[in-house]
Amino acid sequence: MNIRTGVLPLLRGTTITTRHRFLFPFTILPISHRYISTTHSVKMAAQDTPSGKESKSNDNVITNWVKPGDKSGEFKRQQSTFRSFISSSPDSEFPAEAGRYHLYVSLACPWANRTLIARKLKGLEDFISFSAVHWHMGSQGWRFVTPDETDQEDVKGEGVVPHDEGLTHIRELYFSVNPEYEGRFTVPVLWDKKTKRIVNNESSEILRMLNTEFNNLITDPFKSVDLYPEDLRKQIDEANEWQYDLISNGVYKSGFATTQEAYEKNVKALFEALDRAEKHLTDNPGPYWFGERLTEVDIRLFVTLIRFDPVYVQHFKCNIRDIRSGYPAIHKWMRNLYWGIPAFKDTTNFNHIKFHYTKSHPNINPVSITPLGPVPDILPRWEEVPAVSFRG
């Protein structure tokens, strides 16, 4: 009996027979009962497995998540540098035009994942192109796949293609705009193909642009999708503020901490915030954060929580509880988005997510072993782990 055969019967649990009926403005996808992890039987790209030499980094490389010598042990996220805006105004420096802009993303990165979800929800696939990098981040940052890697099982994914002009790394885009650039080479990057410039590399601002600035070019029902409605803006901003600091960035502050004190401080704050989110979703059963209205809060929180059980529980030591057995309201809300709205499911690539984190952080996982679990990566929509089924 192998590991998978042994654990599968334990994961089936009891099927819930009372199904909640939600009103969706989107097509509902059929449920797929998939129990084999996406990490099963893949051939790794040898050149992307971090070497012992790479883990011996100097003080300036991108994989130093806490500045060497910082005795606080705290991870401090860098502010985005490029903050221009696409505008619907025709005299704008960056006017909204079909085919002019390109998104560079990583399918592993939650911040980049935000922009891909919004792009699909707003029907902008034919207006803004995108491409995705390889899941591995080395000391030179994100890199593009090579032509002979695109068919490898661990690399496959929508938009995972070599750079069309032969660039090897995202950093080359940054240096092409500013040869003196000294920050991190982050994704997403919103690129202007016409002027060969970076418009913006702040995901929250790209979300806002995609939500409104192309509305004159698209048709209903996409034009009517409003992820930042005026009457909810105060509540959205308030939710974004604490969720970003304590949850979305909180998992990183926990995982990248280099002292016990920094880790415990941040992981406790993380789970207090998850408790707060659980209470909100219990008291306001949705299907979305704001009832019947899908907003950017759902997008921003989803991209972190879909990664929580597969990665953050073990890799970032966020293991006080997991989502599937510890937070029933969050779990229901998250699966509602994943299984019910194609934009969420279609932009989630568990291979890239699991391989990136476990093989790109030699300070956390120096031997680059990717755990097999959890199995499955996400539970079917109406099924629970045995403990929750019994409790419910």
- pLDDT digit string, tens, across residues 123-176: 999 999 999 999 999 999 999 999 999 999 999 999 999 999 999 999 999 999
How many residues in the chain?
392
- End-to-end CA gap in the chain: 31
**Residue 77 domain-assigned?**
no
CB 263 within 8 A of CB 254: yes
Q: Which amino acid would we find at residue 341?
A: I
Instruction: Calculate the average pLDDT of the chain.
Output: 85
**Residue 384 domain-assigned?**
yes
Query: At CA 316, angle to CA 314 and CA 322, rounded to 5?
Result: 50
- Strand ranges in 107-239 using DSSP code E only, listed in sequence order: 128-132, 137-138, 141-142, 189-192, 197-200
CB 143 within 8 A of CB 133: yes
109 is catalytic: yes
**Residue 236 domain-assigned?**
yes
**Residue 127 domain-assigned?**
no
Q: How many CB atoms lie within 10 A of CB 243?
A: 22
**Residue 233 domain-assigned?**
yes
Q: What is the CATH number of the domain that holds 47?
A: 1.20.1050.10
Q: What is the pLDDT of residue 54?
A: 37
Cα–Cα dist 239/215, whole Å: 25
What is the pLDDT tens value at each position of the chain, 392 positions in all?
333 333 333 333 333 333 333 333 433 333 333 333 333 334 443 333 333 333 334 444 555 646 667 757 775 656 668 999 999 998 999 999 999 999 999 999 999 999 999 999 999 999 999 999 999 999 999 999 999 999 999 999 999 999 999 999 999 999 999 999 988 899 999 999 999 999 999 999 999 999 999 999 999 999 999 999 999 999 999 999 999 999 999 999 999 999 999 999 999 999 999 999 999 999 998 899 999 999 999 999 999 999 999 999 999 999 999 999 999 999 999 999 999 999 999 999 999 999 999 999 999 999 999 999 999 999 999 999 987 866 65
Expressed as residue numbers, the domain containing 365 is 41-58+228-391
Q: 25-55 pLDDT, tens per residue? A: 433 333 333 333 333 334 443 333 333 333 3
**Residue 237 domain-assigned?**
yes
Q: Which of 96, 109, 270, 334 is catalytic?
A: 109
**Residue 95 domain-assigned?**
no
**Residue 157 domain-assigned?**
no
Cα–Cα dist 280/21, whole Å: 20
Count structural domains, the chain: 1
Is pTM beyond 0.75? Reply is: yes
